Amino acid sequence: MKDILLVGVGVMGRPYLDAALRLGLDVRYVEANPDDDRAPHTRIANGQEETWLDGVRRAVAERTPDGIVAFAEPHVLAGALAQDQLGLPGPSLHSAVISRNKALQRNAFGMAGISQPAFLQTDSLATAGQWMLDHLPVVVKPLTLMGSSGVELVSDAAGVAEVIERRGGEGRLLVEQAVFGPEYSWEALVRDGEVLFRNITQKTTTAPPAFVELAHRPGYRFEDQAVAARVDELTSGVMRAINVRTSLVHGEFRVDAEGRPWLMEVAVRTPGDYIPEAVSLTWGFDLYEAVLRLSLGLPVDELITEEPVSNAATFFPTTTPGTITAIEGVEEVLAHPAVVRVRLRKQVGDVVERLVSSDQRMGHVLVNAATPEERDAALEFVQQRLRIVTA
Ligand SMILES: Nc1ncnc2c1ncn2[C@@H]1O[C@H](COP(=O)(O)OP(=O)(O)O)[C@@H](O)[C@H]1O
Ligand SMILES: [Mg+2]
C-alpha cells in the first residue's frame, strides 16, 4: 500500500484526507491543530514555516512516505525541501522558493521576459515616493502575505503622501504599477514539467483600494482566440520560468483593455477559496485525487477529463460594517437547486469590519449548474437572498 504524508490539512485541505482514505492509501498528516482522527498525525508546536519542516522531519523519521502533498502557502517550502531530499515528486525547491515571495517572483519573471507590471522593491515606502508618483496608479503589497492582506491601490499624489505616512514604517514592501481589467486565475496539473490539465477561473473582487476575492467561476474560455493564445503563452512561460516539476499550480492574471494578460502572482500549491472543489465539479474529476496520484507517481491520465461537464462557482457574501443583527435567506438559498453548500462563519452579534482581507469574509456558498447562465442566475439569487444584516 502506498504511503502518503499530507503537510497541513486545516479545513480546506480536508478533501485530500477524504481522497486518500477513499483510495485506500496509508495516510498520515502533519498539523498544528490535528482534529481529524481518521488518520495518524504528527503534531507541531505552531504554524511557523520552519515548524512545518520540523513536523515533516519527525514524520519521515517514523517512516519514509512514497509521496508528500504540501497543502497551502506555509507548507510549500517544507514539502519541497523534503520531496527534493527524498527524491519524491514535487514542484521543485526552485519553484517553491519563488512561489513564497512576490519580490522573487517579479525578479525571476523579469529575467524570463514574462508580461507583468513594472515594480519596485523597497525597504521603506518613503524612498519609493518618486517612483510611485512616476508610475501612478500603483499597488502597494507585502512580499509574503496572502488573501489580499496589505494589498492596496494608490491612485494619486495625495494617496502617495498618505500611504507613506501610514505604512512608511512597515519595512520591506513591493510597489507595482496598477493593471486594470478583469481578473482570472489558472489552475494547472503539471507532471515532470508537462502540463496535463489547465483550467481558467473568472474572479470577482471588491472594488479598489482593497481587492478581496468574492467569487470564482472555473471552466472559463476566452472567446477571442488572440487573447486565449496570449494567456497560454503567459501561463506556459510562467511555468517554465519557475521551473515547476510536478505540482498543482495556481496563478493569477488580469487582462487589460487591449486584450493583453499581465501576471499578478503564481503559487505551487492548492488554491484557496474552495476553488479546487469548484474546479472538480466543473470538470467532473476529483482534483485532490489527481494531486495525490501525481505526488505518488501514480497514473492520472484516465482520471483527468478533456472538457468541462458542469458550471460550478464559489461565492463569498459581503455586508456593510457593523454588528450582525440578523442572517436571512439561508433556508431559501439552500433550497435552490444549484446551491450545493452554504457555510457561514459569522453569527448574530458578531462584528463585521470593513473588508480588506480574505480572512475577514463571512463564509461561502458553493453552487453548481448545468449552464453558465444558470450558474450566474444562481449566484445572483444567492447575492440577493442571503442577507447578513448589520447595524
Ligand atoms: N499590480 C496590480 N494591479 C492591479 N491589481 C493588483 C495588482 N497587484 C495585485 N492586485 C490585486 O490585488 C489582489 C491581491 O494581490 P496578490 O498579489 O494576488 O496578493 P495575495 O497574495 O494577497 O493574493 C490581486 O488578486 C489583484 O486583484
Ligand atoms: Mg493572490
Residue 144 has a pLDDT of 87
Q: pLDDT tier at 145 (50, 70, 90 boundaries)?
A: confident
Q: pLDDT tier at 95 (50, 70, 90 boundaries)?
A: very high
Q: pLDDT tier at 53 (50, 70, 90 boundaries)?
A: very high
Q: Could you say which of 3.40.30.10, 3.30.1280.10, 3.10.20.30, 3.40.50.20 is the CATH number of the domain covering 3-88?
A: 3.40.50.20
Q: What is the pLDDT of residues 239-290, one digit of tens each?
A: 999 999 999 999 999 999 999 999 999 999 999 999 999 999 999 999 999 9
Residue 382 has a pLDDT of 97
The residues lining ligand 1, judged by C-beta closer than 6 Å to any ligand atom, are 117, 139, 141, 145-149, 151, 176, 178-179, 183, 205, 211, 252, 264-265
Averaged over 1-30, what is the pLDDT?
96
Residue 172 has a pLDDT of 95
The answer regarding whether domain 313-390 maps to CATH 3.40.630.30 reads no
Q: What percent of the chain has pLDDT over 70?
A: 100
Which is higher by pLDDT, 279 or 146?
Answer: 279
Using the predicted structure, report yes or no on whether residue 9 has a pLDDT greater than 90.
yes
Averaged over 204-227, what is the pLDDT?
94
Residue 363 has a pLDDT of 95
Distance separating alpha carbons of residues 231 and 251, to the nearest angstrom: 11
Residue 47 has a pLDDT of 84
Burial label, 32 (beta-carbon count in 10 A; 0-12, 13-18, 19+) = middle
Q: Which residue has the cell 510562467?
A: 238
Fold match, 3-88 / 118-177: no
Query: Which of 155, 212, 264 has most ligand 1 atoms within 8 Å of CB, for mutation?
Result: 264
Distance separating alpha carbons of residues 312 and 219, to the nearest angstrom: 8
Residue 62 has a pLDDT of 97
**Residue nearest atom 26 in ligand 1 by C-alpha distance:** 211
From 366, 382, 282, select the one nearest 12 (Cα to Cα): 366
Using the predicted structure, report yes or no on whether residue 146 has a pLDDT greater than 90.
no
CB 269 within 8 A of CB 75: yes
From 235, 244, 265, 250, select the one nearest 101 (Cα to Cα): 265
Q: What is the mean pLDDT of the chain?
A: 96
Residue 13 has a pLDDT of 93
Using the predicted structure, report yes or no on whether residue 184 has a pLDDT greater than 90.
yes
Residue 147 has a pLDDT of 83
CB 78 within 8 A of CB 70: yes
The answer regarding whether domain 98-102+180-309 maps to CATH 3.30.470.20 reads yes
CA of 328 to the centre of ligand 1 (A): 32
Residue 148 has a pLDDT of 84
Q: Could you say which of 3.30.160.160, 3.40.50.300, 3.30.300.130, 3.30.1490.20 is the CATH number of the domain covering 118-177?
A: 3.30.1490.20
Distance separating alpha carbons of residues 268 and 275, to the nearest angstrom: 14
Domain ranges of the chain: 3-88, 98-102+180-309, 118-177, 313-390
**How far are the Cα atoms of 82, 94, 316 from residue 6, in angstroms, in the given order?**
12, 20, 27
CA atoms within 13 A on the CB side of 379: 21
Q: Which residue has the cell 509574503?
A: 144
CB 249 within 8 A of CB 239: yes
Residue 209 has a pLDDT of 86
Q: What is the pLDDT of residues 290-325, one digit of tens each?
A: 999 999 999 999 999 999 999 999 999 999 999 999
CA of 119 to the centre of ligand 2 (A): 16
Residue 208 has a pLDDT of 86
CA of 151 to the centre of ligand 1 (A): 7
With a CB cutoff of 8 Å and minimum separation 6, the contacts of 223 are none
pTM, rounded to two decimals = 0.95
What grid cell was written down for 23?
A: 483510495
> Which one-letter amino acid corresponds to residue 369?
A
**Residue nearest atom 21 in ligand 1 by C-alpha distance:** 146
Name beta bridge partners: 389: 326
CB 16 within 8 A of CB 9: yes
Query: Which of 105, 151, 255, 266 has most ligand 1 atoms within 8 Å of CB, for mutation?
Result: 151
User: Helix, strand or coil for residue 225?
Assistant: helix
Q: Cα-atom radius of gyration of the chain, to the nearest Å?
A: 21
